[in-house]
Chains A and B, each alone.
Chain A
Amino acid sequence: MKKKIIASILIIIFLTGGLWFLQRLLMPKYQGKIVEGAMIEEYYKETEGHDVLFIGDCEVYENFSTMTLWEEYGITSYIRGSSQQLIWQSYYLLEETLKYEKPKVVVFNVLSLKYNKPQKEAYNRMTLDGMKWSMSKVNDIKASMTEEEDFIDYVFPILRYHSRWQELTSDDFKFLFEKEPVTVNGYYLRTDIMPQGEFPDPMPLDDYSFGENAMMYLDKMTALCKDEGIELILIKAPIEYPYWYPEWDEQVSSYAEENGLTYINMIPLSEEIGLDMSHDTYDAGLHLNVYGAEKLASYFGQYIVDNYGLEDHRNDPKYTKIYEEKIKLYNKMIEEMNNITEEE
């Protein structure tokens, strides 16, 4: 009887272990051309908290150099960003992050207010797969799923990715248990340059109101920050495309005023920030490259130091060693990216 039980346990361990291994193997590693799916889980490697937390889409994770904030102001910051991060995803990521730390300032980029319902599974996956399991993740999945998606596929990703067995590469084995960092404190840098061109005229809309669902999550975000005593800053990154309608801008301005929040639309501040969009963008104006992201961080860092009295941690032994390593990584990434750009 005892032998039977032991054998059964061993079989279960072997089978579940095998399935777990297969699942890890088959899940995308996001270490090649598409790195955005690796960003969310990188956060869990952080060992110390941050004074500033950015949440949002590519308009935060590609546009603010977290290392410039450190080098110039001693600000510790992290960007919990992901591709096409929808506002409910930002909310649940914030909720989850607050279980690990309590930043003084939360910065949310408002572009995602234009989406009122789930959009695309590929982007959902890039945000949700990397989250650790918690009620925040459960609720995030529920809020994010498109009609074609099933909750069970998030619980057991192998159900979703099983067909990748035909496409496995050496990277799937190389990064099976440990991945290379793709960001520095959530900032994804690029060093290539492609000057901004002309954007098409915006399409007129029959209704410029943000959707109820999107606004509900902005309310939740505002309430959460207030409950936790955190300053919430709403920003619109200085990117002109996709178009940010004046009607949207007015709505966010009114909302910020009604709720005692700061809202900064950085599009008209481009010159003041010092951006030169013939040089400071890598994809014709959709995102900033590292030169632009450093300028923007320099500008914004000064603003939050002036207005939120953040502490300069540059001489704080708790952080110096950690950020020394981060700066090394940042410089290494710049160098590697430069090499790739030159090769191209």
Chain B
Amino acid sequence: MKPLKIAAVLISFIMVMGFAGCNGEETASGEESKAADATEAVASDNSGAAESKAQESSSSLKFVAKGKEIAIDMDTSSFISDLGDPVSYFEAESCAFQGLDKVYTYSDFVIRTYPDGDRDLVSSVELKSDLVNTAEGAYIGMTEDDIRGLYSSYNIDGDGNSSMTIVDGGTKLSFIFKDGTVESITYTAAE
């Protein structure tokens, strides 16, 4: 009877796991998001039912433009229309129709997004001129000492010879130097 018991346990296990998954769908838990996301993403023709599993970064590192806070993994629908028309806009279809990667280029900064279900989430923000600055006041043209002064309460990796990075929550803030001054500033997702 041993094989019978093993088979019964196996079948019970599969059914319990299946039910557990189904129950998860009726809650607003992470399991729901996970299942819906995968189903929507991998199934051939379904749509609409997906809930996002991405959570907005809990980082304190945020960029502010036109009074709107912009953070990594933030849904762009909460701010994109307030930024006005970009100088240029680019979109690229992800492989296997997994949505559009978008690039909004404004005169002083660039916002890149990735698809998550029906939403577009921020994948990076790049500051391109000294007319904009980080929420803490850093801008292009500053020196290593300036950055260290502004971010004295954070752990900083690197130095002014090449780049300095600060990781907080799910966000990495990078200062890329050229000839001793900040040449570009980027917010990306921390690994």
Q: Is the CB of A125 within 8 A of B14?
A: no
Q: From the candidates B18, B97, B126, name the one contacting A203 in the complex (CB within 8 A).
A: B126
From B22, B90, B93, A283 is in contact (CB under 8 Å) with B93
Question: Do residues B44 and A159 form an inter-chain contact, with CB atoms below 8 A?
Answer: no
A100-151 at interface with B (beta carbon < 8 Å)? 116-117, 120-123, 125-126, 129, 148
C-alpha spacing A37/B112, complex, angstroms:
27
Query: Which chain A residue has the least Cβ–Cβ distance from B17?
Result: A159
Of residues 265 through 319 on chain A, the ones whose CB sits less than 8 Å from some CB of chain B are 283-284, 286
Are B184 and A158 closer than 8 Å at their CB atoms? no
By the criterion CB–CB under 8 Å, are B183 and A28 in contact?
A: no
Q: What 0/1 pattern do residues 174 to 185 of B give for CB contact below 8 A with A?
A: 111000000110
Give the distance in Å from the alpha carbon of A57 to the alpha carbon of B98 in the complex.
14
Inter-chain contact B11/A15, CB cutoff 8 Å: yes
Question: Chain B residue with minimal CB distance to A30?
Answer: B44
Partner of B191 from the list A37, A117, A203 (CB cut-off 8 Å) is A117
Q: Are B35 and A19 in contact (CB under 8 A)?
A: no
Nearest chain B residue, comparing its CB with the CB of A199: B90
Select which of A34, A37, A122, A200 is within 8 A of B103 by beta carbon.
A200
Docked-complex contact B105 and A28, CB < 8 angstroms? no
Convert A1-35 into 0s and 1s, putting 1 for each residue whose CB lies closer than 8 angstroms to a CB of B.
00001001100100110010000000011111110
Interface residues of B in 96-133 (CB under 8 A from A): 96-98, 103, 105, 110, 112, 124, 126
Does the CB pair A200–B38 fall under 8 Å? no
A207 at the interface (CB under 8 A from B): yes
Binary contact readout A189-220 vs B (1 if CB under 8 angstroms, 0 otherwise): 00000000111110111110000000000000
Q: Chain A binding site: helix, strand, loop or mixed by DSSP?
A: loop
Stretch at the interface among A41-49, A162-170, A225-233, A336-344: A162-170
Q: Does A79 contact B (CB under 8 A)?
A: no
Q: Give the CA-CA distance A136 to B103 in the complex, in Å.
A: 37
Of all chain A residues, the one with the shortest Cβ separation from B172 is A206
Among candidates B17, B36, B162, B163, residue contacting A156 with C-beta atoms closer than 8 Å:
B17
Q: Name the CB-closest residue of A to B15.
A: A19
Contact A163 B90 (CB under 8 A): no
Which B residues between 130 and 156 are near A, CB-CB below 8 angstroms?
A: none
User: Within 8 Å of chain A (Cβ to Cβ): is B28?
Assistant: no
A19 to B17: give the CA distance in the assembly, Å: 13
What B residues does A125 contact at CB under 8 A? 38, 41-42
Q: Which A residue's beta carbon lies closest to that of B32?
A: A163
Complex Cα distance, B45 from A32, in Å, reads 7
Q: Which residues of B contact A84 (CB under 8 A)?
A: 95-96
B21 contacts A by Cβ under 8 Å: yes
Asked whether A120 and B96 contact (CB < 8 A) given A200-B88, A207-B163, the answer is no
Q: Which of these, B14, B49, B92, B96, contacts A158 with CB under 8 Å?
A: B14
Contact call B14/A159, Cβ cutoff below 8 A: yes
User: Considering only CB atoms, which chain A residue lies closest to B46 in the complex?
Assistant: A167
Contact status B44-A32, CB under 8 Å:
yes
Question: Do A123 and B158 touch across chains, with their CB atoms under 8 A apart?
Answer: no
One digit per residue, 1 when the CB lies within 8 angstroms of any chain A CB and 0 when it does not, for chain B 9-45 equals 0010010011001100100001000111111011111
Q: In the complex, A33→B95 CA distance in Å?
A: 12
B186 touches A (CB below 8 Å) = yes
Q: What A residues does B124 contact at CB under 8 A?
A: 203
Docked-complex contact B191 and A116, CB < 8 angstroms:
yes
Bound together, the chains give a CA A32 to CA B180 distance in angstroms of 54
- B residues near A237, Cβ cutoff 8 Å: none
| 21 sampled A-B residue pairs with Cβ under 8 A | A8-B1, A12-B4, A12-B7, A37-B42, A58-B95, A120-B98, A122-B42, A122-B96, A123-B96, A126-B96, A158-B14, A160-B21, A163-B22, A163-B25, A167-B46, A199-B90, A201-B105, A203-B110, A206-B158, A206-B175, A241-B92
Known: A12-B7, A167-B45, A206-B176. 17 other contacts (CB 8 A): A28-B43, A32-B45, A33-B45, A37-B42, A117-B191, A122-B37, A123-B95, A126-B42, A160-B21, A160-B39, A161-B43, A163-B36, A200-B90, A200-B105, A201-B105, A201-B110, A284-B92
User: Which 6 interchain pairs have the tightest Cβ spacing?
Assistant: A122-B41, A206-B163, A206-B174, A36-B96, A83-B95, A83-B96
